[in-house]
Amino acid sequence: MSRLDGRTFDEIRPVSMETGFAKHAEGSCLIKMGGTWVLCTASVEDGVPGFLRGQGRGWVTAEYGMLPRSTNTRSRRSLTGGRTLEIQRLIGRSLRAVTDMDALGERTITLDCDVLQADGGTRTASITGACVALHEACEYLRKNDRINSWPLKQLVAAISVGIVDGEPMLDLPYSEDSRADVDMNVVVTADGRYVEVQGTAESDPYTEESLAEMLRLARKGSDELVAQQRKALGLEPVAHG
């Protein structure tokens, strides 16, 4: 059964990742997944938060925002909504899980993910795009001889899956997401392990079998996104990260 936009249930939306979009940032990526566009920048600053000071280790953190009219109806500007804070915590955790903080040295990389246009899956697109921006920022550090070893252990990508009308689906746009029974976000590394699994039943709890199928779809999607990340970064189709 094909979906409104013609995709099959296990197909991701057309993806593009444009690096170097923000000329001031040490790394940046404008990621587009269908109608969801997120501008991700990586900013390098010396120093780390207080609780890490003096240990010679780095820190990666994230902030997430939506332009007020990125959505169908205008939303109020806000910095502290529960949803916003939850998403930026997720992005930060996901990228920290693939970063070698010792290699980074006592500096902080802040990943700003700002949604220019929203059509479902903004948090997962943010993670995927932020990873590209982070890679670029690491390149910047390497080129400027500020690090001795490569801090990004491997690439990481994220994708949404869900159950819509009883069927597991990959990469939900807003029209599907808003009527899904289950909404799941999965963050997967290039070597196929999980960084984060978050699956929420909106009203109808889900079974073991549904969970297994959704995870299978998510891994298929994330593999494809990692391939796109490598292409955007000009890396060989297979190797390191």
CA 79/CA 115 separation, integer angstroms:
14
Nearer to its own copies, 1 or 77 (CB): 77
- State in angstroms the smallest separation of the CB of 15 from its own copies: 17
- State in angstroms the smallest separation of the CB of 209 from its own copies: 10
CA 105/CA 146 separation, integer angstroms:
9
Total residues at the site for its own copies (CB under 8 A)? 61
Cβ–Cβ under 8 Å, residues 133 and 99: no
Cβ–Cβ under 8 Å, residues 110 and 61: yes
- State in angstroms the smallest separation of the CB of 74 from its own copies: 4
Q: Per CB under 8 A, does 63 bind its own copies?
A: yes
Q: What letters, b where the CB count within 10 A reaches 16 and e where it falls short, cover 84-100?
A: eeebbebbbbbbbbbbe
**CA atoms within 13 A of residue 237's CA, in its CB half-sphere:** 1
| Footprint on residues 84-143 left by its own copies (CB under 8 A) | 85-86, 88-89, 93, 96-98, 110, 112, 114, 116-118
**Helix (H) / strand (E) containing 28:** strand 27-33
Q: Per CB under 8 A, does 193 bind its own copies?
A: yes
Q: Per CB under 8 A, does 10 bind its own copies?
A: no
Cβ–Cβ under 8 Å, residues 211 and 161: no
Q: Per CB under 8 A, does 36 bind its own copies?
A: no
Residues in the chain: 241
Q: Per CB under 8 A, does 51 bind its own copies?
A: no
Map 103-138 to HEC letters.
HHCCEEEEEEEEEEECCCCHHHHHHHHHHHHHHHHH
Determine whether 223 is exposed, middle or buried from the number of CB atoms within 10 Å of its CB (0-12, 13-18, 19+): middle
Q: Per CB under 8 A, does 68 bind its own copies?
A: yes
Nearer to its own copies, 8 or 187 (CB): 187
Q: Near its own copies by CB under 8 A, which window of 5-13, 39-47, 50-58, 220-228?
A: 39-47
Q: Near its own copies by CB under 8 A, which window of 5-13, 48-56, 192-200, 232-240?
A: 192-200
Q: Per CB under 8 A, does 220 bind its own copies?
A: no
Q: Per CB under 8 A, does 203 bind its own copies?
A: yes
What is the binding site for its own copies (CB under 8 A)?
22-25, 28, 35, 39, 41, 43, 45, 63, 65, 67-72, 74, 77-83, 85-86, 88-89, 93, 96-98, 110, 112, 114, 116-118, 184, 189, 191, 193-208, 211, 215
